[in-house]
Amino acid sequence: MVELQSQEAQEAQEKPVASPCVYVCALDDDDICVGCQRSGEEITRWGRMGNGERRAVLARCHERALASGLFLVKPNPL
């Protein structure tokens, strides 16, 4: 019988999802970084997030970039 791994166990075996930081670090009036589109809280928590949460943040960053008129290529699903 095949034992199913928890999401946490699977994430522990994956490489960490890379930070979207582009070294243009400045928060706008909405507390969103103008470089990577993460919120201040997301930036602070990034190092403690699992890959699933990081992917969710990246999806929100993409949506924020589109909403703000930035031209970004949609990230490839991992």
Residues of the domain holding 34: 18-68
Whether residue 24 is contained in a domain is answered as yes
- 11 assigned to some structural domain: no
CA neighbor of 47 nearest in space, from 76, 16, 77, 23: 16
Q: For the chain, what is the domain count?
A: 1
Name the pTM for this structure. Answer: 0.76
Q: Is 77 part of any domain? A: no
- In a domain, residue 27? The reply is yes
Q: How far apart, in whole angstroms, are the C-alpha atoms of residue 64 and residue 36?
A: 10
**What would the pLDDT profile of 14-51 be if each residue is shown by its tens digit?**
999 999 999 999 999 999 999 999 999 999 999 999 99
The DSSP secondary-structure symbol of 46 reads: G
Q: Whose CA is closest to 52, among 24, 25, 12?
A: 12
Evaluate whether residue 55 is within a structural domain.
Answer: yes
At residue 1 the predicted structure's pLDDT band, cuts being 50, 70 and 90, is very low
Residue 40 located in a structural domain: yes
Residue 2, in any domain of the structure: no
